Structure 1
Amino acid sequence: MILPKNMKILILTFYFQPDFCAGSFRTTALVNALQSKMSKNDTLEVITTMPNRYKSRREKAETYEEIGNLTIHRIPMPDHNNGFFDQILAFWEYWKGVFQLTKNQHYDLIYATSSRLFTGFLGAKMAKNKQVPLYLDIRDILSDTIKDVVKNKWIRFFLLPIIKRIEKYTIQSATHLNLVSEGFRGSFTESNGNVTFFTNGIDEDFLGVDFAKSSHNTIPIITYAGNIGEGQGLEKIIPETAKRLEGKYIFNVIGDGGTKQKLVDKLTELKVNNVNLFPPMKRSELMEYYAKSDFIFLHLNDYQAFEKVIPSKIFEYGATQKPIIAGVNGYAREFLQTYLVDSLIFQPCNIEEFIHVVENYEPQNICREQFIHQFNRTNIMTKMAESILSLSVIKKESSLIYDEN
């Protein structure tokens, strides 16, 4: 691959280390891969936010860091609870901060990762203004989510046309489009650039850990770890299922999010006493909980929008060698049936099916070496970094240089 000298790449990501979420883990791994492939005379600039994913867990971080050829700017965020309008205000602060930091700056390429559409939109606007290629990483489809999640029909009526226009503009602005799920394939036919499918993956923290050791629990433990939001719909499935399985199973729920209070309220209403709630925790602690569990639980709400996604937790769960109980449909179900064939799958929000798959489970030897090798995050991000670097620019007016290997 022939690259220009003194290359400068801008990375736009709302979440980055040490924030504790899927977007942060993904982008941090990608930046590490890019940094290792760029020379000391190149510049890799990350503009992100101060850790703000969970109100109950705000990691400490510097607003500015310089590590070799990497610079990191973290923009302070207003206090928020991950509500819809809270996130709009938070993003407005990010938008203003990015434009302030990049004013009069030249870049050879812009990368934007967008589970939040407006990070991608911001990348598209900047790429157009600075006349450089845009490498866009899509991890969610906002218009689909709004159709299912936003209940107020008038908000949907006025908001959806705007969101769809922004999505179309953003996608058509991308020189290269990466979709994190094959389930998104049919939703982006208007793309003008090349399309790849670099998925999420398994971080090195989970490699070589003995999760498969017997937990020896008197009562089997089912553990969920991750976001507790509208997308997961835990309040629709865990309280009633746990109530009916009292004395037979214990549930651990680890995490935080916008609908956690709904879950707490439902547990209180049903007087459930076999569900333990824990705040987000460090990965070293989380892996101990995984090791002590008999099952690992995954659930997506019964919305059509979530039939296209692959939850990032699937990869983490797959590395544990523990039986996965998954309430999913669409591409996530297809993915599990293809790569994690020992998974116990049921229809989202279907309590009867959940209980059936758990109570009829027969212990088996689980071997996922091929899955762990195929979806090693380092390998995936190395290939993605090479894909990004192939879009380097020699001059604003020049054509793009692609990898000929």
Structure 2
Amino acid sequence: MPKRILLLTFFYPPDISAGSFRSRALTEALLERSADDVQIDVITTQPNRYHSHITDAKTVEEDDRFRIRRIQLPLHKSGFLDQAKAFISFAFHASRFASESRYDVVVATSSRLMTAVLGSWVARRQHARLYLDIRDIFVENLGELFSAPLSKSLTLFFGTFERWAIKRADKVNLVTAGFLGYFQPKYPRQRFSLYSNGVDDDFVDFPLAASTGAGAGQPLRILYAGNVGDGQGLHLIIPALAKRLGGQVHFRIVGAGGRLPALRKAVVANELQNVEITAPVAREQLLDLYQQADVLFLHLNDFNAFKRVLPSKLFEYAATGKPIWAGVAGYAADFVIAEILNATVYAPCDIDGAVNALEQLRLEQIPRPEFTERFSRRRIMRSMADDVLELLSEAN
């Protein structure tokens, strides 16, 4: 009798996000590493990560051993309530679709906790093994995003869901070792693995430029590509840096998110001519933008919770060989210093520190083949797939 694995993920290609690329790599590895009698199902959403970059996708895609079902969500924005409504719609339909089949293992990859909770619910109903892939510490972040007493109430409320999901899981993967300090003391009996984000195949053979660095009298072309939300805090640093550095730099911000209006407002208010903001682009166009850039910019907001995270963006940035200018603290700062050549770190929201860090960069493209090999997404996901398949072999 065929065995079945269900993957629950809020994002999946053609959506563009770290979670979607990770989910695709995991399904590809599961298909490659499993026997012919193993069926892989994915329940996800229609592309919705960025409203300025929405791509049509089939509601159902099927192959011999692989099926994707995409759920159409109601229109929503990036606010907390809107996202909650969107997830409730996803959870309702995903539970209904999952009940149509019998699964041996449920895998849930989750950044904002509730997909993990959904995975736990489905696994309980089906008496299936549960594998959680945790990509953020949602409960801890609530204390930073909301003020008291609301933050305390939300932390207690969602903390109950976190315990319910984590304790039910047969295995839990953490996307960064920085999360161990939070999860291990709370769940000492749980089995944790550490399969990180990695370098996608698209970046493995990133071309070397014939010449690097801005030409004489030309501003440095500084690129940030990704989400523009509270977590990144770009509205708190980009306008100040652009004003401070003036004609020495030209910032190109490619992305969208809840803090994009605040960033635009600050750019307009300060009459900044050296900041260009564009909508998210497809991966092929993003590769071209990376080639055009002189420096790649990264910033996380000054939240204590973010001292545990490791931004997925660092992996593709590093694979390009371009100089990296990173405003990060804690585990991410230690990782950059230890693992990435020609990358400088400054404390989040520290303008003086950021300027000093920029001055320390070598404005040239330096290949990082050891990094690319060590953190190959394909290799990491093969190991993670084997971890999932161990649960499948234990299932009745």
2:128 match = 132
SS at match of 2:366: coil
Q: Is the 8 A contact 1:298 1:326 kept in 2?
A: yes
1:25 match = 21
1:106 match = 102
SS at match of 1:319: helix
Distance 1:395 1:175 in 2: 11
- Once the two structures are TM-superposed, the CA of residue 356 in structure 1 deviates from its matched residue by 1.6
Say whether 1:204 aligns with 2:237: no
- Once the two structures are TM-superposed, the CA of residue 149 in structure 1 deviates from its matched residue by 1.1
Which residues of 2 match residues 219-368 of structure 1 at below 5 A? 219-363=219-363, 366-368=366-368
Quote the sequence identity (%): 38
Post-superposition CA distance 1:75-124 (Å, at most 9, x none)? 11111112111110000001110111122521110000110201000111
1:15 match = 11
Distance 1:306 1:341 in 2: 22
1:159 match = 154
1:76 match = 72
Post-superposition CA distance 1:311-361 (Å, at most 9, x none)? 000000000101100000010001111111421110100111111222343
Distance 1:250 1:269 in 2: 17
- Once the two structures are TM-superposed, the CA of residue 55 in structure 1 deviates from its matched residue by 1.0
Moved more, 232-241 or 96-105: 96-105
1:6 match = 2
SS at match of 2:240: helix
Question: Which amino acid counterpart does residue 328 of structure 1 have in structure 2?
Answer: V
1:144 match = 140
User: So what's the TM-score if we normalise by structure 2?
Assistant: 0.95
Distance 1:85 1:156 in 2: 15
Structure 2, unaligned stretches of length 5 or more? none
SS at match of 2:149: helix
SS at match of 1:285: helix
Q: Is the 8 A contact 1:44 1:70 kept in 2?
A: yes
Q: Is the 8 A contact 1:256 1:280 kept in 2?
A: yes
Which residues of 2 match residues 376-387 of structure 1 at below 5 A? 376-387=376-387
SS at match of 1:72: strand
Question: Which amino acid counterpart does residue 17 of structure 2 have in structure 1?
Answer: C
SS at match of 1:124: helix
Distance 1:140 1:211 in 2: 33
2:82 match = 86
Distance change (3 Å), C-alpha of 1:20 and 1:365: closer
- Once the two structures are TM-superposed, the CA of residue 191 in structure 1 deviates from its matched residue by 5.2
Question: Which amino acid counterpart does residue 102 of structure 2 have in structure 1?
Answer: H
2:172 match = 177
Q: Is the 8 A contact 1:222 1:294 kept in 2?
A: yes
User: So what's the TM-score if we normalise by structure 1?
Assistant: 0.93
Distance 1:196 1:348 in 2: 29
- Once the two structures are TM-superposed, the CA of residue 59 in structure 1 deviates from its matched residue by 1.1
Distance change (3 Å), C-alpha of 1:11 and 1:220: same
Distance 2:84 2:59 in 1: 21
Post-superposition CA distance 1:22-73 (Å, at most 9, x none)? 0000000110111122334321110000100011111110111102210101
- Once the two structures are TM-superposed, the CA of residue 363 in structure 1 deviates from its matched residue by 4.2
Q: Is the 8 A contact 1:230 1:301 kept in 2?
A: yes
SS at match of 1:68: coil
Q: Is the 8 A contact 2:209 2:365 kept in 1?
A: no
Q: Is the 8 A contact 2:213 2:363 kept in 1?
A: no
Moved more, 212-221 or 343-352: 212-221
Q: Is the 8 A contact 1:240 1:270 kept in 2?
A: no
Question: Which amino acid counterpart does residue 310 of structure 1 have in structure 2?
Answer: L
Q: Is the 8 A contact 2:307 2:332 kept in 1?
A: yes
Question: Which amino acid counterpart does residue 22 of structure 1 have in structure 2?
Answer: A
Distance 1:154 1:394 in 2: 45
Question: Which amino acid counterpart does residue 183 of structure 1 have in structure 2?
Answer: G
Post-superposition CA distance 1:267-302 (Å, at most 9, x none)? 111111101111111122111111111110000000
Q: Which 4+ stretches in 1 moved above 6 angstroms?
A: none
The size of the alignment, in residue pairs, is: 391
Q: Is the 8 A contact 2:98 2:122 kept in 1?
A: no
2:115 match = 119
Distance change (3 Å), C-alpha of 1:395 and 1:134: closer
